[in-house]
Chains A and B, each alone.
Chain A
Amino acid sequence: MKRRPYFLIFALIFGYAFFYVPIASMIFYSFNKSRLATVWGGFSTEWYGKLLDNQQVLDAAWLSLRIAFVSATVATILGTMAGMALARFARFRGRTLFSGLVSAPLVMPEVITGISLVLFFIALNGMIGWPTRGFTTITLAHITFSLSYVTVVVQSRLASMDRAVEEAAMDLGSKPLRVLFDVTLPIIAPAIIAGWLLSFTLSLDDVVITAFTNGPGSTTLPLYIFSKVRLGVTPDMNALATIIVVLVGSGVAIAGWIMHRADKKRERDVQMAIAANK
């Protein structure tokens, strides 16, 4: 008795239209000749050209990329450690607090994280003269919230991994540290890469925490956009937004596809190995 679930199909169509129509419209209007952002005045790419001359945008983008790169890298290292600690060590002192600390930033409203970090940085600076508000403080803040996301991704990958593989390596004489580098890390590599990408895009995208922790002269791209958008929709913003959405979107889609394929290939290899041993 298979009946087509028309209601669900309708819901999916509506939902994806809801997701993508605004973005499609924005991309469409970025090629608008007219100065008035919402009135069609013919096709043009002039706004894209103008962006390249806008030194403010280029500076902001460069700063954002640097922050995103550094914070994603550090957050990935710390988050991988935390993920391993939570997935592999069932009991240690303060584990409950630790897992709470890891998951709290995921649900904590950003304004709270933002204000507490900036007040903390100011107090710390008052005491030891470090850190200066700007690149450093933004990066530290981004590491702190990205870390949680990496932890979750790594932890769930480790949880679904077969522990017998590690035990086999140990049984064959590898010491724990060797097992870590020879077996565990290669297996969870896709999760680590995904964690890095996630941290990178989160950092590249963050407005609220950055708004609190930035300093004079350290305007990131989202902050620049935020200040512009407050004034309304403009064609050059449409162009900038289009570039970012298309770049990040296709980057993520390609990365996701590559990882999906690698996973599929591994599954196939395992299956073939099992079949060959039969």
Chain B
Amino acid sequence: MAALAPAPQAVQGDESHLPKAHSWRQWLDREAWRKTIIAIPYLWLLFFFIAPFLIVLAISAGTSQVGIPPVIWKSTFPFGTLDNYVFLTQDDIYWQGYLNSLRNAAISTFFALLIGYPMALGIARASSTWRNVLLLLVILPFWTSFLLRVYAWIGLLGNTSWFNRGLTSILATFFPFWVTGDHIQMMNTNFAVVLGIVYSYLPFMILPLYATLEKLDRTLDEAAMDLGSKPWEVFRDITLPLSLPGIIAGAMLVFIPATGEYVIPSLMGRGDSPMIGRVLADEFFQNRDWPVASAVAVALLAVLVIPIMIYNFFQAREARRSAS
């Protein structure tokens, strides 16, 4: 460089003319703050998210014992065992639990989509003043207590509540062959669990759907209509396919946590065929069987890996799209 174009004064890279003082400040300005900003949350998550998961993985390969700690490993290689996982496949309660969870989560996701999609569309198509109010009304339940919202439904579903009595008499009027008695047993059924999940997770369905629908270009609808499509054909050909990313995001945001749901099945579900979240908690709290509880958790995560990956794939694609 210097040979090719000898600089008349200071050679490039020579910073001797710069003040020497505060060099640590300079370093802080250039590099350290950046490293700090990355490192602190990174380390926190490695420590409190990855490390715990590795521990669960290790404990799931141990054997339970009576004592402290209530888990023991073999003293020889490979130290761990897969017995706990084998055990999960042998006892009905576990695989039945997974099936219950997946089924209830799938049904709930379907109904959340069925209720949430028209709502999201309605909000996205509302005038801008209305839109803010309607959005706030969706977000508000999401901020207020989850537990108490479930509790509110328990109040409605109970056999003596006005809601149950009212619904029963309405149904008895129209379908007398189907409904008898003065109430319908709704609490402690799968219906109650699905209702509770739909109710609790509906904002998670509506918000990503709204975000996608709101961005859609309305002139595309007009173009389709101009080319001869009636409103519902426009919906089928344009709106629905273009909102697919929102549908997937919303569906995954409902399906994944619903599969592991613990509170709702504990409060509203049937005791005899619990969902897997409740099985896990019972294993841990009641049976104090750490290894089996850990194995249940690891297997649950394995079950959910595919939906989580689908979700992440679509999120990353959306992020790339909006960046470009």
Q: Residues on A close to B: CB < 8 A?
A: 3, 5, 7-9, 11-12, 14-16, 18-23, 25-26, 29, 36-39, 78-79, 81-82, 84-85, 89, 92, 94, 98, 100-105, 107-112, 115-117, 119-120, 122-123, 126, 140-141, 143-144, 147, 151, 175-177, 180, 198, 201, 204-205, 207-208, 211-212, 222, 225-226, 229-230, 232-233, 237-238, 241, 244-245, 248-249, 252-253, 256, 260
B238 at the interface (CB under 8 A from A): no
Contacts A/B (CB < 8 Å), 22 sampled: A14-B115, A15-B116, A19-B141, A22-B156, A23-B152, A26-B151, A36-B160, A38-B155, A38-B162, A101-B45, A107-B311, A108-B301, A120-B56, A147-B44, A180-B33, A205-B145, A205-B147, A226-B267, A230-B266, A241-B148, A253-B136, A260-B132
Classify the secondary structure of B's interface with A. Answer: helix
Cα A100 to Cα B294 in complex, Å, equals: 22
Q: Could you tell me if A85 and B260 are in contact, using CB atoms closer than 8 angstroms?
A: no
Which one of A3, A5, A22, A260 has the greatest number of beta carbons of chain B within 10 Å?
A22
**Residues of chain A lying within 8 A (CB to CB) of residue B34:** 89, 176
Contact B158 A115 (CB under 8 A): no
User: Known interface pairs A19-B137, A85-B37, A140-B48. Does A107 touch B252 (Cβ–Cβ under 8 Å)?
Assistant: yes
Q: Which single member of B40, B119, B162, B284 contacts A81 (CB below 8 Å)?
A: B40
Q: A3-B231, A8-B121, A237-B151 are in contact. List 12 more A-B contacts (CB 8 A).
A: A8-B118, A15-B115, A20-B137, A22-B149, A37-B155, A81-B41, A85-B38, A100-B312, A102-B41, A102-B45, A111-B262, A252-B139
B30 at interface (Cβ–Cβ under 8 A)?
yes
Scoring A111, A140, A205, A225 by chain B CB atoms within 10 A of each residue's CB, the highest score goes to A111
Count of A-B contacts with CB under 8 A? Answer: 245
Decide: B154 and A233 in contact? CB cutoff 8 A: yes
Map CB proximity to A onto B281-301 as digits: 1 under 8 Å, 0 otherwise: 100100000100110010011
Chain B residues in 8 Å Cβ range of A20:
137, 141
Q: How far is the CA of A26 from the CA of B41 in the complex (A)?
A: 41
Smallest CB gap from A119: residue in B: B55
Distance between Cα atoms of A148 and B223 in the complex (Å): 41
Asked whether A248 lies within 8 Å of B69 as measured between CB atoms, the reply is no
Residues of B close to A79: CB separation below 8 A? 41
Closest 7 CB pairs of A and B: A109-B260, A11-B118, A120-B52, A116-B52, A8-B122, A22-B152, A82-B41
Interfacial chain B residues near A126, Cβ < 8 Å: 69
- Contact pattern, B 105-118, Cβ under 8 Å of A = 1, otherwise 0: 00000000001101
Least CB distance from A116 to B in Å reads 4
Cβ-based interface call for B244 (8 A): no
CA of A12 to CA of B124, assembled, Å: 11
Cα separation A122 to B71 with both chains bound (whole Å): 12
Chain A residues positioned under 8 Å from B153 (CB to CB): 22
Tell me whether B314 is interfacial, beta carbon within 8 Å.
Answer: no
Do the beta carbons of B267 and A229 come within 8 Å of each other?
yes
* Residue in contact with A205 in the complex, picked from B138, B146, B267, CB distance below 8 Å: B146
Q: Which residues of A contact B53 (CB under 8 A)?
A: 116
- Which residues of the other chain, A, contact B140 by a CB distance below 8 angstroms? 249, 252-253
Residues of B within 8 A of A256 (CB): 136, 139
Is there a chain A Cβ closer than 8 Å to B95's Cβ? no
Q: Note all chain A residues with C-beta closer than 8 A to B51.
A: 120
Which residues on A sit within 8 Å (CB–CB) of B147? 205, 207, 222, 225-226, 229
B49, B115, B149: which has the most chain A beta carbons within 10 Å? B49
> Which of B125, B290, B294 meets A8, CB within 8 Å?
B125
- Nearest-neighbour CB distance to chain B for A264, whole angstroms, equals 10
- Are B281 and A111 closer than 8 Å at their CB atoms? yes
Residue of B nearest to A197 (CB): B143
- Residues from chain A with a CB closer than 8 A to the CB of B115 are 11, 14-15, 18
Q: Decide yes or no: A38 and B125 within 8 Å by CB, A109-B300, A180-B33, A248-B145 being known contacts.
A: no
